[in-house]
């Protein structure tokens, strides 16, 4: 596959330009942001209603935090690519920018969205759910950070795939779940460690898995994006 | 034709021997299989369960390899081969899950307990399901073939992570007589090993035969739709 050679600075510029474009159009409509916020509030409310006055064990609560994050991100993160197809702007974007700039611009946008989503979810979750107490903040912060990057990376490449299919909405979680499962299992384990008050060293194994997951997913996205993006 | 006859005889022999050879405490003759203490007569399922599990992985890998070939050459025939492999792999994956669950019921007392092996086969089932959901959601053949290939590559790249993650969460109770290196688990008795590998070879041949048939039928279908479409 021939790639047009260009200096790194232009590549960075066009990546940032795509990121800024997406951010601007998102701030104009606030579709993804409001969908994410409403989704998180709704899910936490459902958890609160179903728990009633009882308190769930800490294990289950750290799992449920990531259930909220997974389904919320499934409702919002596909927008970046789906809107390009819906508005019919995908073709223009193909002409204006190299595939890798498009991928990394959108990845950056999704990353910002996911980080915002996760910070908000964590604040709401720990404010309203009683049994959820973080004891080792260092593990928790690193887990949220690495988890967001991994989630955004996998969600972006799957979003690029489903934007080309007919039934976009239902297909997204179906395709994402098997890909995200290693990440989810690891972050749930790390979150559990942070609520148990484990030492930072005990979570090194989880962090190693998360970092290698991120590297693998970003690399494979970079290599395969050309095939998805070009008609 | 010859392949069909050889396969038929071979599989019948393997199935009959696997079910009927006596299992005794102290095997004296070549036809007596040793009784493995913790497994007992239930060990017989390994002649059928392990080959199906092996094929569900083999089919997945070969589907991915044909996917890569498709991405390089854009030859529709590679996509037919890839999709046929995935279709068969799904059937074998269901068989492996069901036989495994049956065995688990009698050995562990429950059909499903999220043992690492069960979790990985469940994820494989999910990937197969997602693969077919994706295929059915795209009308244009070329786009469908490309995206399906890309998805199977991503899934195959992510799968190995389970090998590192699952042992951290739960220790497996699943017996591992072939790949085992530890002394206390020991290895299979020679006659059992022969029968086991005969079954593995028979099932793999069966897979190849079915896959070949499916590819040829799909090719005819493909050409007919090309003619009908103009």
Residue B114 lies in a domain: yes
pLDDT band at A155 (very low <50, low <70, confident <90, very high): very high
Are residues A203 and A193 in contact, defined by beta-carbon separation less than 8 angstroms? yes
Tell me, what's the pLDDT at B183?
44
Are residues A105 and A19 in contact, defined by beta-carbon separation less than 8 angstroms? yes
Angle (deg, nearest 10), helices A168-196 and A204-229: 170
Q: Measuring CA to CA, which residue among B205, B208, B209 is closest to residue B1?
A: B209
Torsions phi, psi of B31, nearest 5?
Answer: -90, 0
Closest partner CB to B130 (pick from A175, A182, A212)? A175
Residue B9 lies in a domain: no
Tell me, what's the pLDDT at B181?
43
Share of chain A above pLDDT 70, in %: 97
Give the 3-state secondary structure of residue A36. helix
Residue B197 lies in a domain: yes
Q: Do B153 and A228 touch (CB under 8 A)?
A: no
Count of CB pairs separated by less than 8 Å, A with B: 81
Share of chain A above pLDDT 90, in %: 50
Nearest CA to CA, how far is B59 from chain A (Å)? Answer: 18
Range of the domain at B205: 48-172+186-229
The tens-digit pLDDT sequence of chain B (230 residues) is 788 899 999 999 989 988 888 887 777 777 777 777 777 778 888 889 989 999 999 999 999 999 999 999 999 999 999 999 999 999 999 999 999 999 888 888 888 888 888 888 899 999 999 999 999 999 888 999 999 999 999 999 998 887 777 766 666 677 765 544 444 455 677 788 888 899 999 999 999 999 999 999 999 998 898 888 75
Tell me, what's the pLDDT at B12?
92
Residue B86 lies in a domain: yes
Q: Is B73 exposed, middle or buried (0-12, 13-18, 19+ CB in 10 A)?
A: exposed
Residue B204 lies in a domain: yes
For chain B, how many structural domains are there in total? 1
Question: Is A226 in the B-facing interface, judged by CB distances under 8 Å?
Answer: no
Residue B178 lies in a domain: no
Angstrom distance (rounded) from CA A136 to CA A198: 7
Tell me, what's the pLDDT at B86?
95
Q: Measuring CA to CA, which residue among A84, A74, A61, A42 is closest to residue A133?
A: A61
Supply B91's token pair. Answer: 């059937």
**Angle ∠(B167,B171,B174) on CA atoms, nearest 5:** 110
pLDDT band at A1 (very low <50, low <70, confident <90, very high): very low
The ipTM assigned to this model is: 0.89
Residue B144 lies in a domain: yes
Mean pLDDT across chain A: 89
Residue B70 lies in a domain: yes
Q: Do A227 and B133 touch (CB under 8 A)?
A: no
Tell me, what's the pLDDT at B98?
94
Better pLDDT: A151 or B180: A151
Residue A4 pLDDT exceeds 80: no
Torsions phi, psi of B160, nearest 5?
Answer: -60, -20
- Give per-residue pLDDT as tens, A164-205: 888 777 899 999 999 999 999 999 999 999 998 888 888 888
- Give per-residue pLDDT as tens, A158-167: 999 999 888 7
Q: Measuring CA to CA, which residue among A137, A141, A129 is closest to residue A53?
A: A129
B72 contacts in A (CB within 8 Å)? none
A181 contacts in B (CB within 8 Å)? 123, 126
Rg (CA), chain A: 18
Tell me, what's the pLDDT at B82?
95
- Give per-residue pLDDT as tens, A214-229: 999 999 999 999 999 8
Q: Which residue of B73, B126, B129, B161 is the best one to mutate when testing the A interface, meaning the one whose CB has the most A CBs within 10 A?
A: B161
């Amino acid at each position: 596959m021939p790639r047009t050679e260009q200096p790194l600075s232009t590549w960075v510029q066009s990546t940032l330009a795509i990121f800024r474009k997406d951010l601007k159009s998102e701030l104009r409509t606030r579709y993804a942001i409001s969908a994410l916020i409403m989704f998180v509030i709704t899910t936490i409310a459902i958890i609160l209603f179903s728990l009633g006055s009882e308190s769930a064990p800490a294990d289950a609560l750290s799992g449920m935090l990531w259930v909220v994050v997974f389904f919320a991100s499934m409702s919002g993160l596909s927008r970046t690519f789906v809107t390009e197809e819906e508005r019919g702007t995908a073709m223009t974007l193909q002409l204006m920018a190299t595939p890798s700039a498009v991928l990394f611009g959108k990845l950056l946008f999704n990353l910002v969205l996911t980080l915002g989503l996760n910070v908000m979810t964590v604040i709401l979750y720990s404010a309203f759910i009683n049994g959820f107490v973080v004891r080792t903040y260092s593990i928790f912060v690193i887990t949220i950070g690495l988890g967001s990057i991994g989630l955004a990376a996998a969600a972006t490449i799957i979003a690029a795939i489903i934007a080309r299919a007919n039934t976009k909405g239902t297909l997204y979680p179906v395709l994402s779940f098997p890909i995200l499962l290693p990440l989810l299992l690891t972050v749930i384990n790390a979150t559990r460690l942070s609520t148990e008050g484990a030492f930072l060293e005990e979570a090194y194994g989880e962090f190693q898995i998360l970092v290698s997951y991120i590297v693998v997913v970003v690399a494979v996205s970079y290599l395969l994006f050309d095939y998805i993006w070009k008609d | 034709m010859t392949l069909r006859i050889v396969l038929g005889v071979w599989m019948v022999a393997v199935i009959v021997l696997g079910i009927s050879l006596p299992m005794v405490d102290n095997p004296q003759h070549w036809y007596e299989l040793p009784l493995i203490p913790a497994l007992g007569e239930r060990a017989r399922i390994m002649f059928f369960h392990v080959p199906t599990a092996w094929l569900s992985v083999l089919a997945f890998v070969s589907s991915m390899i044909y996917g890569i070939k498709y991405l390089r050459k854009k030859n529709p025939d590679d996509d037919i081969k890839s999709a046929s492999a995935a279709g068969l792999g799904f059937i074998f994956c269901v068989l492996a899950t069901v036989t495994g669950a049956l065995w688990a019921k009698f050995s562990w007392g429950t059909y499903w307990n999220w043992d690492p092996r069960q979790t990985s086969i469940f994820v494989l089932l999910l990937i197969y399901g997602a693969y077919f959901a994706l295929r059915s959601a795209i009308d244009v053949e070329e786009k469908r073939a490309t995206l399906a290939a890309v998805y199977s590559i991503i899934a195959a790249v992510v799968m190995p992570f389970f090998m590192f993650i699952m042992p951290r969460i739960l220790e497996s109770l699943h017996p591992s007589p072939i790949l085992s290196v530890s002394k206390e688990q020991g290895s299979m008795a020679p006659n059992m090993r022969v029968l086991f590998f005969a079954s593995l070879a028979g099932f793999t041949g069966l897979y190849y035969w079915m896959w070949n048939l499916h590819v040829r039928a799909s090719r005819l279908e493909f050409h007919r739709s090309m003619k009908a479409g103009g």
